[in-house]
Amino acid sequence: MAKVRTRFAPSPTGYLHIGGLRTALYGYLYAKKHGGDFILRIEDTDTARYVDGSVQIIYDTLRDSGIMYDEGPDVGGNYGPYIQSERKDLYLKYAKELIEKGGAYYCFCDKERIESLKDEDGNLRYDKHCLKLKKEEIEKNLAEGRPYVIRQNIPEHGVGTYHDLVYGDISVDYKDIEDGILIKSDGMPTYNFANVVDDHLMGITHVIRGTEYLSSTPKYNLMYDAFGWERPEYIHLPPIMKDAQHKLSKRNGDASYEDFVKKGFVKESIVNYIALLGWSPKTNTEKMSLKELTENFSLDGINKSPSIFDETKMRWLSGEYIKEMDEQKFKELALPFLKASKVYGKYDEDKLLSLVRTRIQIFSEIPEKLDFLEEFGEYDRALFVNEKQKSSEELAKNVLPKIKERLESITDWTNAELFAALVGLSAELEIKKQAVLWISRIAITGKSATAGGATEIAELLGKEETLKRIDFSIDLLGR
């Protein structure tokens, strides 16, 4: 069997959206699983949709996410150039060959004539008018330099059938396909032509792309057949939905890989999650590295039905990666987000980070999890009331001065010492330890829910600040 070669063929029309990245990922996984090559090709023949800077975004995103290609515009390879606009002359040459072979023809119809073919709804169906032109007429037109396009010659009858490796046998009636343009009047090919020429010339064995191309594939097959080229295998991928009705799309401004990285999702979790959008492993584990995904990937795990993008699940996965990350990497990734917090520079960095480590799913939660440390002031004394923790306002009023006294005597201001001191105090006073801890927490934070326990927070705040806050709370309860 020939070496597997897959390709990712994005159009540079903005950022790389999640659906695009999933297509790239599956192309990568399929190639790597079979010891093959994964190729990047930039499809920039639609100049109207070209967005400056987007080619660079494609390179950066693929590199950054680890979906690295073996051949491509910026890495080279034996089948280049890998940017379609640099292959322009080649397409014209092949289009002429296709004309010779009866698969295409010159069309000289002007705008007015084309307009006149539109029905009431504005839909156009070309009537094969120029297919009937005599050879001499065509030559004369060309010699006179009349503008032309090259159209595909679709048979008027018959059915195009092929086998998709996900969707099975697909058949399209030729009468439902029009003689689409292959070469535009500016000499540029359309996607419909360029994808065929390039996939053939680049030796692509498996074409992996979205289902929007499922029904146009028969017309590409007509070209493969007319050229006498072997058709590739086709793997069409189910759409990714935002919800039951709407597709996830960059046109709607839906988030991209880059956005999610900026929001603080662990990169590996994004790749891991998008692998699961349309594919399920046979194992029960969903958390998989790129290497594990490669080992487990198989076509029979690809679903036919659309999958819904679930950000909550991706968040969860990101949290799992954070929990398992080594200390050094966590610090490196968390630091830029910690810097955005009000508390940055005011407390011990490592302690702040260990406070949030198991409490966040994405890095951008860091500031909101820590800002409470800086937000101490007037609060509602009813917070001391907590039945579950066996705490009441009355109890707080009695115990808080004793807590203060005990803490004042501590010299080794660490979480462990503080905890031992408060537990000791609760035993002496014969009250529940959770009550003492609850009262301490409210007294030093003024909040019922925070990251970290009372003594953990006290350690961070330091002795002076902790005692100052307790004084404030004693005063508040005494009013």
In whole angstroms, give the CA distance from residue 292 to residue 272.
Answer: 10
CB of 27 to ligand GLU, least distance (A): 9
User: Using CB under 6 A as the criterion, what x/- string covers residues 396-435 for binding ligand GLU?
Assistant: ----------------------------------------
Classified as helix, coil or strand, 71 is: strand
User: CA-to-CA distance for 302 and 126, rounded, in angstroms?
Assistant: 37
Report yes or no: 307 and 277 within 8 Å, Cβ to Cβ: yes
Q: Using DSSP, state whether 236 is helix, strand or coil.
A: strand
Q: Choose the stretch contacting ligand GLU; rule: CB under 6 A; options: 5-13, 153-161, 296-304, 464-472.
A: 5-13
361 near ligand GLU (CB under 6 A): no
Looking at the Cβ atoms of 40 and 451, the one nearer to ligand GLU is 40
CB 107 within 8 A of CB 149: yes
| Sign of the CA dihedral running 386, 387, 388, 394 | positive
CA distance 428 to 421: 11
Catalytic residue among 184, 250, 346, 369: 250
Nearer to ligand GLU, 209 or 469 (CB): 209
Q: By three-state DSSP, how is residue 343 classified? A: coil
Q: Which stretch binds ligand GLU (CB under 6 A): 3-11, 336-344, 385-393, 426-434?
A: 3-11
250 is catalytic: yes
**In what helix (H) or strand (E) does residue 104 lie, and over which residues does it extend?**
strand 104-107
At residue 169, the 3 state secondary structure works out as strand
Count of positions on this chain that bind ligand GLU (CB under 6 A): 8
Helix (H, G, I), strand (E, B) or coil at 439: helix
CB-wise, 11 or 256, nearer to ligand GLU? 11
> Considering the complex, what minimum distance in angstroms separates the CB of residue 100 from ligand GLU?
26
Q: Could you tell me the two tokens for 50?
A: 């070209």
Give the phi and the psi of residue 423 in degrees, each rounded to 5.
Answer: -65, -45
9 contributes a contact to ligand GLU by CB under 6 A: yes
Tell me which residues in 162-201 interact with ligand GLU (CB under 6 A). Answer: 191, 195
Q: Do 129 and 150 contact (CB within 8 A), yes or no?
A: no
Listing DSSP states for 30-56 in one string gives HHHHTT-EEEE-B----GGG--TTHHH
CB-nearer residue toward ligand GLU: 227 or 316: 227
Which two structure tokens, joined as six digits, stand for 122? 């504005």
- Contact flag: residue 10 with ligand GLU (CB under 6 A): yes
> What distance lies between CA 377 and its chain's CA centroid?
41
Please tell me whether residue 22 binds ligand GLU under the rule CB under 6 A. Answer: no
- Distance CA(447)–CA(456), nearest Å, equals 15
Q: Would you say 21 or 400 has its CB closer to ligand GLU?
A: 21
Q: How far is the CB of 152 from ligand GLU (least distance, A)?
A: 16
Cβ 460 to ligand GLU shortest distance, Å: 50
Site for ligand GLU in 198-217 (CB under 6 A): 209, 213
| CB nearer ligand GLU, residue 14 or residue 160 | 14
Identify the residue among 43, 179, 456, 459 touching ligand GLU (CB under 6 A).
43
Whether residue 162 contacts residue 217, with contact meaning beta carbons closer than 8 Å, is answered with yes
Q: How far is the CB of 6 from ligand GLU (least distance, A)?
A: 10
Among the residue ranges 8-16, 85-93, 307-315, 400-408, the one whose residues contact ligand GLU (CB under 6 A): 8-16
Residue closer to ligand GLU by CB (options 162, 191) is 191
User: Which residue's C-beta sits nearest to ligand GLU?
Assistant: 209
Q: Interface residues with ligand GLU (CB under 6 A)? A: 9-11, 43, 191, 195, 209, 213
List the catalytic residues: 250
